[in-house]
Amino acid sequence: MLKLTQHQTILTKMLSCLVVIVGLFISPSIIWAQQANYVHDEANVVSAPMKEKLEKLLTELDEKRNLRIEEVILPSLNNQDPSKVVGELAQKIDAHETKAEYRALILYVTDSGYIQIYPNQKLSAILDEKSLANIVQTATKQLQEKNYDEMARVGVAGVFHYFQKNPETQVKNDAEGRSKTMINLLLIIVALVVVVGLIKFGRKQ
């Protein structure tokens, strides 16, 4: 009886370790999604439902499409130079953990109607001045009409629209997505095989 109990204890510990190991491989995106914060609404103008939708969308873009977009909505610049404000915001945002190679900061200032998009060097190759101007113009119209939810939405939608039109990023992201899916499936299969083997081993003992 003691021997059987010892084997059961060992089996339980091995299964627990296996679950933890597999979890480390297949669930980092879930953990990161819970910690993600992409919409920084300091003006408190975006509704909770829209913010939740944007957070989900931006999390997916960050994790699956190699694109990280962060929105900062300020009530005013407090008489500061926009470039200085952007520099400070960029430093904070750059500290956020991400594997995305393409990144953008969208800044909205509600009292002045100031809107600007700041892509990193890699994204700048996709978003030319004309594309950026089109996005800003559309978002500015919504800001002027105080449609803040739509303002925040079209900013993200505009950046993603031009991003996904690029053939290179589309192919690369599709390939990466398939690769990650195959790896996860293989890990699950291996885990199942090991679990079955451990159960059979426990029964024999």
Instruction: Report pLDDT digits (tens) over 86-110.
Output: 777 777 766 666 788 999 999 999 9
Residue 189: what pLDDT? 75
Backbone angles phi, psi at 74, to 5 degrees: -110, 145
Q: Could you tell me the pTM of the whole model?
A: 0.64
DSSP notation for 39-66: EEETT--S-HHHHHHHHHHHHHHHHHSS
Contact 94, 68 (CB under 8 A): no
Q: How far apart are CA 151 and CA 111, in angstroms?
A: 14
At residue 176, the pLDDT reads: 58
Contact 117, 127 (CB under 8 A): yes
Report pLDDT for 35: 41
For residue 87, the model assigns a pLDDT of: 77
Three-class DSSP category at 69? strand
CATH fold label, 35-177? Diaminopimelate Epimerase; Chain A, domain 1 (3.10.310)
Sign of CA dihedral 126, 45, 140, 87: negative
pLDDT of residue 172: 53
Residue 167 has a CB neighbour count (10 Å cut-off) of 8
DSSP conformation letters of 163-175: HHH-HHHHHHHHH
pLDDT of residue 11: 54
Report the pLDDT value the prediction gives residue 80, as an integer from 0 to 100. Answer: 83
Q: What is the pLDDT of residue 1?
A: 46
Give the separation between CA 66 and CA 99, rounded to whole angstroms.
7
Instruction: Give the Å distances, CA to CA, from 46 to 20, 49, 55, 125.
Output: 38, 9, 12, 30
What residues does each domain of the chain span? Answer: 35-177
pLDDT for 83 equals: 76
Per-residue pLDDT of the chain (205 residues; tens, 9 = 90+): 444 455 555 555 555 545 444 444 444 333 333 344 899 999 999 999 999 999 999 999 999 999 999 999 999 988 888 778 777 777 776 666 678 899 999 999 999 999 999 998 899 998 999 999 999 999 999 999 999 999 999 999 999 999 998 877 764 555 555 666 667 767 777 776 666 666 766 666 6
Write down the pLDDT at residue 33: 35
Distance CA 195, CA 29 (A): 24
Is 98 in contact with 68 (CB distance < 8 Å)? yes
Q: Which residues pair with 118 in a beta bridge?
A: 105
What is the identity of the amino acid at 178? Answer: R
Q: How far is CA 125 from CA 87, 146, 162, 176, in A?
A: 21, 32, 11, 21
pLDDT at 74: 94
